[in-house]
Structure 1
Amino acid sequence: MSQSKFPKLLDYERLKQEFGTSSTEHTASQDTTNDSDATIETIPPQNIRLTGSRLRSYAFAVLTRKEFSKAELIEKLAVYAASREEVINLVNELSEQNYQSDQRVADIVLSSQKRKGKGPQRIKLALKNKKINSDLIQEELKAIDWVEQAYQLKIKKFGNTVEKDPKLKAKQIRFLQYRGFDMEVIMKVINKKEDDE
């Protein structure tokens, strides 16, 4: 296509001369948003330290794309902020106003890990990695039938026969332990027959 069909809408050279380097920094930060998914969060240029309303805007941009725990959000914002103290105050404020919620993150982690066939120990580990207290979902964890969860996982992987061979039993135990199930639950599962209630 010829350039005559698409005339230049802005004369960037004239803007650079008129406004100095700030316009080039602005266009550079805009360009990063279109590069890839890794830079989709409108990452500010390295030499600019965010404060006040700019930091708040960046925090909202981050939170609109994904839920973050309080600790994760502080670390993410601190990279671009001028003051860690300001970041902590902002995140506390966002948490009070329910824009950020550790409870929501904990619920998301629980449902996601449960869907992937993970047991309570792996779920607690996932929460610990996000620096979230597992007490937030203690009631939900107690309400889940972990024996049934582990049994369905065992059937999917090994079938519904009760193994007599110690090596095959050990393999099932290791598999369910790795998935985060407690030993008490595992022993019930590997000895459970299909017609057992």
Structure 2
Amino acid sequence: MHSMESQTQKALTGQRLRSLAFAYLAKREFSKAQLRLKLLEKDADAVEVDTLLDELSDQNYQSDERMAGMVVRSNLRQGRGPQRIRQQLKKHQIDAELASGDLAEVDWFAEALATKVKKYGTEVATDPKLKAKQIRFLQYRGYSMDVIFRVIQFDEHV
């Protein structure tokens, strides 16, 4: 019984490792670092995991560039600004440089304005407390102060 137990405890290797990696990637996109961690949690051999990840990356089954684009688009849909998106990239262990092209294409003023309008409407706040609340909200969302001040003062009726 003891020898059978040690057989089931042996490291995840070869085709089983490859199948598990594909199963993870079939469900959703992973950064290389995230996928490495998930496979190592399953008792896989680190050298074999690294070799497999290089192969998956070379064959474009796994792509940090694709993952970076997905993180940017997902966060934009949630009304997040560039600082929050960079935080998310760091959380997913993705080099922010991989998303720099996607981030450069975004009109941050328009995104911040849409986020503000969705929460507070088009009215320009005159009450200092409401202005401060809007500023904090947009800061938390990850927008820069210059964009925030332009947004809270923007009046579409002028």
Which TM-score applies when normalising by structure 2?
A: 0.91
How many residues matched? 154
User: Partner of 2:138: helix, strand, or coil?
Assistant: helix
Q: 1:161 aligns with which of 113, 117, 123?
A: 123
The correspondence of residues 105-184 of structure 1 with structure 2, limited to 5 A, is 105-184=67-146
Gaps of 5+ in 2: none
State the superposition RMSD in angstroms. Answer: 1.7
Give the residue type in structure 1 aligned to 2:138: L
**Matching of residue 103 in structure 1 with residue 74 in structure 2:** no
CA deviations on 1:55-88 (whole Å, 9 max, x unpaired) are 1111111111111000000000011234112111
**Matching of residue 79 in structure 1 with residue 41 in structure 2:** yes
User: Partner of 1:95: helix, strand, or coil?
Assistant: helix
Cα 1:82–1:114 change in 2 (3 A) is closer
User: Partner of 2:66: helix, strand, or coil?
Assistant: helix
CA–CA distance in 1 between the matches of 2:35 and 2:58?
14
**Structure 1 residue 48: deviation in Å?**
4.1
Q: 1:65 aligns with which of 15, 27, 37?
A: 27
CA deviations on 1:112-171 (whole Å, 9 max, x unpaired) are 110111111111111100000111121221111111111111111112121122111110
User: Partner of 1:160: helix, strand, or coil?
Assistant: coil
Please say if residues 123 and 180 of structure 1, whose CA atoms lie closer than 8 Å, have aligned partners that are also in contact.
Answer: yes
Point out 4+ residue stretches in structure 1 off by more than 6 angstroms: none
More helix by percentage: 2
Please say if residues 13 and 44 of structure 2, whose CA atoms lie closer than 8 Å, have aligned partners that are also in contact.
Answer: yes
1:42 corresponds in structure 2 to: none
**Structure 1 residue 195: deviation in Å?**
3.1
Percent identity between matched residues is 51
Q: Which structure has the higher relative contact order (CA within 8 Å, separation 6+)?
A: 2
CA–CA distance in 1 between the matches of 2:59 and 2:157?
51
**Matching of residue 54 in structure 1 with residue 16 in structure 2:** yes
Give the residue type in structure 1 aligned to 2:153: N
CA–CA distance in 1 between the matches of 2:54 and 2:43?
15
CA–CA distance in 2 between the matches of 1:148 and 1:82?
46
Please say which structure displays the higher CA radius of gyration.
1
CA–CA distance in 2 between the matches of 1:192 and 1:165?
15
Please say if residues 29 and 67 of structure 2, whose CA atoms lie closer than 8 Å, have aligned partners that are also in contact.
Answer: yes
CA–CA distance in 2 between the matches of 1:186 and 1:100?
36
Please say if residues 51 and 81 of structure 1, whose CA atoms lie closer than 8 Å, have aligned partners that are also in contact.
Answer: no
Give the residue type in structure 2 aligned to 1:152: A
